[in-house]
Amino acid sequence: MKLEKYPERKANSIFIKLQQNLVDTEQRIALVGGYFNNVATFYKIKIEIIPDRFVAFMAGLHQRPLMVTDEFERAPTQVKLSE
């Protein structure tokens, strides 16, 4: 079975690949957000411990806010397939 003879199958497979790419991208964003929060938490703890606290104060280092997401209430991603 060749895809050229069945253009609807070819279009369907391209759309499925697009959906999978969107899912993969969202998963990578979630992983990076988790990594950022881990690093920010470690940083926060580190600059509160003496003697690092004094060095952080002299260097002007401050705590960073954590990334917060509402995974369950997030708006669906809008994809424009044609103009």
Confidence at residue 74, expressed as pLDDT on a 0 to 100 scale: 59
Give 38-70 pLDDT, tens digit per residue.
988 888 888 888 888 888 788 887 777 777 766
Q: Give the residue among 68, 59, 8, 72 at the shortest CA–CA distance from 40.
A: 68
C-alpha distance across the termini of the chain, in Å: 32
Predicted confidence (pLDDT) at residue 34 exceeds the cutoff of 80: yes
- Mean pLDDT, range 69-79, rounded to an integer: 62
Say how far apart CA 29 and CA 22 lie, in whole Å: 11
**11 pLDDT higher than 60:** yes
Query: For the whole prediction, is pTM greater than 0.85?
Result: no
Inform me whether the pLDDT recorded for 1 exceeds 50: no
